[in-house]
Amino acid sequence: MASGNGKPLAEPKGSQLYEVLKGIDFERRELIGKPRSAGLFDLVKDGGRYRCYACTLCERTCPADCIEIDYCPEYPELSWDTGAELAAVSAAQPEIDMKPFDAVVARLRDGYGLIEAFHTTQETYGYLPRQVLESIAAELSLPLSRVYGVATFYTQFRLKPVGKYVIDVCMGTACHVAGAPLIVEAFSQELGIPIGETTADRLFTLQTVNCVGACALAPVVRVGDDDTHGRMTPNTARKLVRQLCKREEA
């Protein structure tokens, strides 16, 4: 197509997103007119730990099939001590009694699913120990990565031991406006731990939740599943911690 003066018109250009999308063949999942990129990642230590385990999950789940993991003999292999890595993981996990796990196995064999197994496990141990997750994966003939992925997707499941008293501070809109951030700060100062952590004596765990359904009592704090405290202030938060400590000393 030419303009009135005989010069060819420039091809119209769309948005930046259009420029990207027009270079993709979605049927064959290939790039059009562009060289196939090649990248290299390795088992590189980051902060003393390996940051990539070459599980190939990224390759298997890439929606455009643009990730390909292959062996490259021209690059030196890094040493990999599987035994040392497993020993380090095991050392970080506390010893648990596997006898209560029989109840989880019974539910699985009765046809209950993975989520029900997680609920039963957390009711039994207070969290989801790695050893139990491995046993669940073996019982269901599933990869541990898949079991772990489901466990970390849902926020109600915990992968670390919690204290005897789990303090949940509601951070819903009503509680937040009524001063919930100050309540969290008071608990954190009194307990000496940040949100999501447990005291060294395994007595308290501090958490925040989205809503406990008691907006009329905002700000609300819940200790465990049954003990709810409404209209909290920083001072009453500190007093609550001291009362619970005295209960343990009695």
Structure tokens at 184: 């969290």
pLDDT of amino acid 222: 94
Cis peptide before 219 (omega within 30 of 0): yes
Residue keyed to tokens 């005989």: 6
User: Whole-number mean pLDDT of the chain?
Assistant: 78
pLDDT over 80 at 14, yes or no: no
Q: CA-CA distance, 25 to 48, in Å (whole number)?
A: 41
Question: What is the rounded distance in angstroms from the CA atom of residue 102 to the CA atom of residue 136?
Answer: 11
- The dihedral built from the CA positions of residue 203, 207, 212 and 216, taken in this order, carries a sign that is positive
The residue-averaged pLDDT of 120-125 equals 87
Q: Which residues of 13-24 are buried (b: 16+ CB within 10 A; e: fewer)?
A: eeeeeeeeeeee
Quickly state the pLDDT bin for 167 (edges 50, 70, 90): very high
Residue type, 136: I
Count of alpha carbons within 13 angstroms of residue 158, beta-carbon side: 17
The region of weakest confidence among 42-51, 64-73, 91-100, 240-249 is: 42-51
For the stretch 48-66, pLDDT in tens is 555 565 666 677 667 666 6
Residues in the chain: 250
Strands 165-170 and 204-209: parallel
- Nearest Cα neighbor of 197 from 157, 152, 160 is 160
Q: What is the pLDDT of residues 190-245, one digit of tens each?
A: 999 999 899 989 899 999 988 888 899 999 999 988 899 999 999 999 999 999 99
Q: Is 88 helix (H, G, I), strand (E, B) or coil?
A: helix
Q: What share of the chain is helix, strand, coil (3-state, %, to 5)?
A: 40, 10, 50
Q: 43: which 2 tokens? A: 């088992």
Structural tokens at position 96: 């648990």
Q: Which residues of 148-167 are buried (b: 16+ CB within 10 A; e: fewer)?
A: bebbeeeeebbeeebbebbb
Q: How confident is the model at residue 187 (pLDDT cuts 50, 70, 90)?
A: very high
Would you state the pLDDT for residue 94? 67
Which domains are delineated in the chain?
15-79 (no CATH), 101-153 (no CATH), 165-249 (3.40.30.10)
CB 170 within 8 A of CB 211: yes
Per-residue pLDDT of 25-43, as tens digits, reads 655 555 566 555 555 555 5
Could you tell me which of 242, 195, 239, 244 has the C-alpha nearest to residue 224?
Answer: 244
**Look-up: residue for tokens 């250009």?**
13
The CA radius of gyration of the chain, in Å to the nearest whole number, is 27
* pLDDT value of position 107: 82
